Structure 1
């Protein structure tokens, strides 16, 4: 199967997190994907450890402040945009992009100083997509095809 062509920015959905058609930056220089989150904390609920965090989407007030609970999560050491190593929480969730749904891993980080709340890295793009850096939202053409 040939990879689909997407642009440098795409509208994606993260249905399990309640996010629908929000902008994500496609970053072929990053290995993993990242999602802006705040108030990230581990809690014990019913004797089990869970991860709670708020998803805050810049420019999307209807999605701002929603608290999400993840039962499956782990910590991962990553290099931030400044090349410094840090430990972040990582969750796995569904991503819908260009008419397809995949499982994807996202590290949670404070991206409030960044232009884009969601960054998609090579791991989710590999063998699925080619990126045309001159365009945006090419995935919409695939959403309407059956």
Structure 2
């Protein structure tokens, strides 16, 4: 299987989360991908997540209930370990829908609401740090040039 070349940042869709044209950063130093979640409420055996941000573009108030979720330990680059919820969802790159594992974290103080980690990138993409928005621009080209 050949790998697609992707840039260091892009804009992608998370259709199951109702989030579209979301800024993401490829983080080859991170194992797991992470998404901004402003509020997490555990009710019975479900996880109610509110994806909302006044800082991040296209993060309107979206509420999703997850019936399947896990806990995972995430170690930051400074060595700090944090226990986070992990959910499964879908993401669209280059018009193709992929399954993705996402840890939930408050990222309002970060430039990017989503980090895409190695677990997702491996065997699919090569990251060229000189490029940006490769998937997003290919989609715009597709829509502006119908064949």
Note whether the superposition's TM-score is higher than 0.5. yes
Q: CA deviation at 1:129?
A: 0.4
Spell out, residue by residue over 1:51-104, the C-alpha distance to the aligned partner (whole angstroms, 9 max, x if none).
0111124332x5322221111101101113432111100000011112221110
Which residue matches 1:54? Answer: 50
Q: CA deviation at 1:113?
A: 1.4
- List runs of 5+ in structure 2 lacking aligned partners: none
- List runs of 5+ in structure 1 lacking aligned partners: none
Which residue matches 2:66? Answer: 70
Tell whether 2:19 aligns with 1:19: yes
Matches of 1:59 and 1:42 in 2, distance apart?
Answer: 24
Tell whether 2:134 aligns with 1:138: yes
Which residue matches 2:108? Answer: 112
- Tell me which stretches of 4 or more aligned residues in structure 1 moved more than 6 Å: none
Q: CA deviation at 1:110?
A: 1.0
Matches of 1:115 and 1:35 in 2, distance apart?
Answer: 12
Tell whether 2:110 aligns with 1:93: no
TM-score using structure 2 length: 0.88
Matches of 2:49 and 2:135 in 1, distance apart?
Answer: 28
Q: How many residues align?
A: 141
Matches of 2:33 and 2:76 in 1, distance apart?
Answer: 11
What secondary structure is seen at the aligned counterpart in 1 of 2:38? strand
Matches of 2:16 and 2:89 in 1, distance apart?
Answer: 7
